[in-house]
Amino acid sequence: MLDTKLNRPDLPAEIARRRTFAIISHPDAGKTTLTEKFLLFGGAIQMAGQVRAKGEARRTRSDFMAMEKDRGISVSASAMSFDFHNFRFNLVDTPGHSDFSEDTYRTLTAVDAAVMVVDGAKGVESQTQKLFEVCRLRDLPILTFCNKMDRESRDTFDIIDEIQQNLAIDVTPASWPIGVGREFLGCYDILNDRLELMDRADRNRVAESVRIDGLDDPKLDELIPANLLEKLREEVEIARELLPPLDPQSVLEGHLTPIWFGSAINSFGVKELMEGIGTYGPEPQPQSADPRQISPEETKVSGFVFKVQANMDPKHRDRVAFVRMASGQFKRGMKLTHVRSKKPMTISNPVLFLAADRELADEAWAGDIIGIPNHGQLRIGDTLTEGEMLRVTGIPSFAPELLQTVRANDPLKSKHLEKALMQFAEEGAAKVFKPTIGSGFIVGVVGPLQFEVLASRIELEYGLPVRFESSQFTSARWVNGEKPAVDKFTEANKQHIAHDNDGDIVYLTRLQWDIDRIERDYPDVRLTAIKEMQ
Ligand code: G4P
């Protein structure tokens, strides 16, 4: 059995065995397939093909809408817990579409590590690069899986070099592929000195594992054709000379990523990757908070909301807040303090997303993700504690990149519209600004698809047809500063001022030039593109 304790020997065993991570990848690299195999080997599903039939990339917009409608699916996929060896894995799903990058960012605040999947033929693609940058901002440890090795793929050194160059992270091979494409036989497991041979006949079978004694072991001559064996020996020797060895501390600090080669669809390399997540992935890490950091081993329970999903059942206006437990052992029925409102909340119906068995969560430990059904009290960025006034920090809200005005087709329904918009704003699905002059609302998003999803949800969940129209503004900035300076500024720029759904002041404009001018003319006022959620 693998040792579950790594860099924090004082952690209680239940916490030390938890690994909470997300998978980042470009659409089509194999995230869905890999997730499915994780669940299969984690004993959470019996057969591959049960997660969902199609990957993100080939979903058309209408598929996406249908998925949004059938919200049960996306919720169950938002967090999945399963056991592997003596580890408890919590896999948090990142939304695949690039339009939802803010949501993705916040999801990554809830994990301790990320698995980066790259396609062996395509290498580092744009979305992988973007997501990687986000992980880098938080120094998240990254483990890499190079997928689709059963197909024609690039030269192994080439792939490693591209990751090192494009992502500025050192790479160490955990395994080395033998042959490519049709000739792909399997991998040499560098870490364990084993030969893993792929079974092409049965896609759900784990590879045959042959223990060997180094690459000069005569057993290899029987198992690998001479030309491939010679190449393997040569390449591994060069790799050992040129690439850094696996230094666990360096992995934890996010400077070095171990790479496994495999084929998710053939279940190949997946178990080794899972063992790697257990062995080299971090246990639940301390959480930055104000006025002090929270350590997972603290006996008092705390957690924070990183995602809210509303109206899963449109008839009931219910919401589920996804909470990452930051410390302690949570028990169902506990009374926690909702720090923002300073009010107590009894958590009587928490949901733990055990993929095998979705049940009420009787207990949860630091590192786990629980869902708390509520009627709107819980918002993104909120902290729950056993009484101490701690506020988890580092969950940002980004200025939207696209703005449009929204109107209800029936002008008498504008109050209804306001309610719906506020709901989506709290869910983090959009920014909603109310201009001080004039009527109506301006909605801000990161990607254009979000407007369509919003229009469809407002109609579906509130029975309210709406239309989005172009706005005279294209940029939004939060206004910060001492009250007298801010008052003077807002008074002089009334036609540009709005309030967001938290009541914070926002400056709207269509010209970058305007923003530069204000920085010059009002030195005591700061315009920011990021706001911390609180
Ligand atoms: P995503 O979630 O990252 O978007 O990717 P997904 O797992 O949906 O995989 C994208 C396509 O790549 C799928 O094929 C999937 O079967 C295939 N794939 C995943 N892993 C491997 C692998 O190791 N080898 C090979 N050769 N293919 C792999 P599809 O035909 O586009 O869709 P589907 O009909 O199979 O779902």
Over the stretch 414-473, which tens digit does the pLDDT of each residue have?
Answer: 889 999 998 888 887 789 999 999 878 999 987 788 888 889 989 988 999 999 999 999
Identify the pLDDT of residue 4.
53
- Give the Å distances, CA to CA, from 94 to 44, 142, 170: 19, 15, 24
Residue 34 above 50 pLDDT?
A: yes
Task: Supply the mean pLDDT for the chain.
Answer: 86
Strand 383-385: give its sheet, edge to edge: 343-346, 335-338, 383-385, 302-310, 319-327, 369-374, 351-352, 359-360
User: Which of 39-48, 203-212, 219-228, 507-516 is predicted least confidently?
Assistant: 39-48
Instruction: Grade residue 312 by pLDDT with cuts at 50, 70 and 90.
Output: low
Residue 55 above 60 pLDDT?
A: no
Identify the pLDDT of residue 534.
60
Is 4 among the annotated ligand-binding positions?
no
The predicted model gives 116-140 an average pLDDT of 90
Is 463 among the annotated ligand-binding positions?
no
Closest ligand 1 atom to residue 28 Cα is 4
- Give the rounded distance of the alpha carbon of 60 from its chain centre: 22
Closest residue CA from atom 36 of ligand 1: 54
320 or 534, greater pLDDT: 320
445: closest CA among 499, 403, 479, 503?
A: 403
Q: pTM of the entire structure?
A: 0.84
Instruction: Grade residue 398 by pLDDT with cuts at 50, 70 and 90.
Output: confident
The predicted model gives 284-303 an average pLDDT of 96
38: closest CA among 382, 353, 275, 367?
A: 275
Using the mean position of ligand 1's atoms as its centre, give its distance from the Cα of residue 57 in Å: 10
Identify the pLDDT of residue 74.
38
Is 400 among the annotated ligand-binding positions?
no
Specify the residue for token string 């009931």.
Answer: 316
Identify the pLDDT of residue 351.
81
Is 148 among the annotated ligand-binding positions?
yes
Tokens of residue 255, six digits: 């400077």
Closest ligand 1 atom to residue 56 Cα is 4
Identify the pLDDT of residue 94.
79
Residue 245 above 50 pLDDT?
A: yes
Using the mean position of ligand 1's atoms as its centre, give its distance from the Cα of residue 210 in Å: 28
Which of 28, 36, 127, 200 maximizes ligand 1 atoms within 8 Å of its Cβ, making it the mutation to test the pocket?
Answer: 28
407 or 355, greater pLDDT: 407
426 or 300, greater pLDDT: 300
Ligand 1 binding pocket, CB closer than 6 Å: 25, 27-33, 54-58, 147-148, 150-151, 263-266
The interface predicted TM-score (ipTM) is 0.98
Residue 402 above 60 pLDDT?
A: yes
Is 107 among the annotated ligand-binding positions?
no
User: Which of 8-22, 100-114, 402-416 is predicted least confidently?
Assistant: 100-114
The predicted model gives 290-301 an average pLDDT of 96
Rounded to the nearest 10 degrees, the angle between the axes of helix 270-280 and helix 31-41 is: 80
3-state secondary structure 63-91: HHHHHHHCHHHHHHCCEEEEEECCEEEEE
> Among residues of the chain, what percentage have pLDDT more than 70?
87
Is 94 among the annotated ligand-binding positions?
yes
Closest ligand 1 atom to residue 268 Cα is 23
Using the mean position of ligand 1's atoms as its centre, give its distance from the Cα of residue 514 in Å: 47
Using the mean position of ligand 1's atoms as its centre, give its distance from the Cα of residue 147 in Å: 10
| Helix, strand, coil tally for the chain in percent (to 5) | 30, 30, 40
180-226 pLDDT, tens digit per residue, is: 889 999 999 999 999 999 987 776 677 678 889 999 999 999 999 99
297 or 533, greater pLDDT: 297
Tokens of residue 122, six digits: 């395509």
- Give the Å distances, CA to CA, from 257 to 122, 136, 171: 18, 12, 5
Closest residue CA from atom 33 of ligand 1: 54
Is 267 among the annotated ligand-binding positions?
no
Identify the pLDDT of residue 14.
94
The predicted model gives 327-351 an average pLDDT of 94
d(CA 377, CA 148): 45
Closest ligand 1 atom to residue 57 Cα is 4
Instruction: Grade residue 357 by pLDDT with cuts at 50, 70 and 90.
Output: low
Is 28 among the annotated ligand-binding positions?
yes
The predicted model gives 137-162 an average pLDDT of 95
Closest residue CA from atom 8 of ligand 1: 55
Closest residue CA from atom 34 of ligand 1: 54
469-502 pLDDT, tens digit per residue, is: 999 999 999 999 999 999 999 999 999 999 998 8
Are 69 and 28 in contact by the 8 Å Cβ rule? The answer is: no
Cα angle 418, 403, 417; round to 5? 15
Identify the pLDDT of residue 304.
97
Identify the pLDDT of residue 305.
95
Residue 53 above 50 pLDDT?
A: no
Using the mean position of ligand 1's atoms as its centre, give its distance from the Cα of residue 492 in Å: 56
22: closest CA among 109, 142, 113, 134?
A: 113
Residue 230 above 60 pLDDT?
A: yes
Closest ligand 1 atom to residue 36 Cα is 7
Tokens of residue 94, six digits: 């990142």
Closest residue CA from atom 10 of ligand 1: 28
Identify the pLDDT of residue 423.
85
d(CA 32, CA 34): 5
59-118 pLDDT, tens digit per residue, is: 433 343 444 444 333 334 578 888 999 999 999 987 655 555 677 788 899 999 999 999
359-360 vs 441-445, strand pairing mode: unpaired
3-state secondary structure 374-434: ECCCCCCCCEEECCCCCEECCCEEECCCEEEEEEECCHHHHHHHHHHHHHHHHHCCCEEEE
Using the mean position of ligand 1's atoms as its centre, give its distance from the Cα of residue 55 in Å: 7
Is 150 among the annotated ligand-binding positions?
yes
Using the mean position of ligand 1's atoms as its centre, give its distance from the Cα of residue 102 in Å: 26
Using the mean position of ligand 1's atoms as its centre, give its distance from the Cα of residue 41 in Å: 18
Residue 349 above 70 pLDDT?
A: yes
User: Which of 232-236, 306-310, 530-534 is predicted least confidently?
Assistant: 530-534
Residue 1 above 50 pLDDT?
A: no
Using the mean position of ligand 1's atoms as its centre, give its distance from the Cα of residue 182 in Å: 17
Are 217 and 207 in contact by the 8 Å Cβ rule? The answer is: no
The predicted model gives 396-411 an average pLDDT of 88
285 or 62, greater pLDDT: 285
Identify the pLDDT of residue 75.
38
Closest residue CA from atom 24 of ligand 1: 148
Residue 358 above 80 pLDDT?
A: no
Residue 17 above 70 pLDDT?
A: yes
Sequence-distant (≥ 6) Cβ neighbours of residue 157 within 8 angstroms: 235, 238, 239
The predicted model gives 126-147 an average pLDDT of 90
Using the mean position of ligand 1's atoms as its centre, give its distance from the Cα of residue 460 in Å: 32
Closest residue CA from atom 22 of ligand 1: 148
